Amino acid sequence: MGKSKQVTVSFSVVPHIKTDDLYGVVDRAIEVVQKSGVRYEVGAMETTMEGDLDELLEIIKKAQDACIEAGAIDVVTSIKIHYRPSTGVTIDEKIAKYRTQAPQPVR
């Protein structure tokens, strides 16, 4: 079997914690992604990564563990995968056109 094609994976973690530091626990998950070396972008509601699917899923598992290590009782994780075996998928193809536009005001 050949090398797997590049995919994009978006995920969000919702840790159940007993303190008021929800963002601090989520930051631990994002640190796992940052240290992984894969291409990623943090958004307001999720983090998107690109790379090999198996590697990205392992990163998500480690991100969940980081939440637990930071004090979460449990973690609900949502995952979206864009898989195209013919050519692969990149973050740039999805959002490059939006980067050339001026930011829109929040209303």
- Is residue 64, in this structure, part of any structural domain at all? yes
At 65, which amino acid appears?
D
CATH number at residue 55: 3.30.70.930
Residue 1 has a pLDDT of 40
Domain of 65, in residue numbers: 7-98
- pLDDT digit string, tens, across residues 56-92: 999 999 999 999 999 999 999 999 999 998 888 999 8
- pLDDT digit string, tens, across residues 9-35: 999 999 999 888 888 999 999 999 999
3-class DSSP assignment, residue 20: coil
Residue 77 has a pLDDT of 98
- Is residue 103, in this structure, part of any structural domain at all? no
Name 90's Cβ contacts closer than 8 Å, sequence gap at least 6.
6, 8, 50
The model's pTM is: 0.85
